[in-house]
Structure 1
């Protein structure tokens, strides 16, 4: 029974922290665009442009 006097305030503290983190995430627009990040993994990266071989030797 004595452990409840410790566990209940700890549980309330955890709930308050979780609610605070949730409201912080909502205010900082963490949930603004949920679809874009999920679709980014499906898209191919843009091909890298090759540099011409003569571009590195332009020390003249």
Structure 2
């Protein structure tokens, strides 16, 4: 039973360590995208087609 407590403690420590490393990487700008804005003007804009729904009115007696 004591092995479960040890494994649980170690896994929580490893999880918190990875969370701290991830937060430091995000804060330092590791995941900022610096490539896409430079090539964005090379792509054509998508043409958006607007569908107009004509409502038909029926007369019921």
Q: TM-score, normalised by structure 1?
A: 0.53
Residue 4 of structure 2: aligned partner:
4
1:15 and 2:15 correspond = yes
C-alpha RMSD over aligned residues: 1.7
**For structure 2, which runs of at least 5 residues remain unmatched after alignment?**
37-61
1:10–1:34 CA distance, 2 compared to 1 (3 A): farther
| Pairs within 5 Å for 1:1-60 | 1-33=1-33, 35=35
SS in structure 1 at match of 2:31: coil
Larger-Rg structure: 2
For residues 2 and 34 of structure 1, the distance between their equivalents in structure 2, rounded to whole angstroms, comes to 49
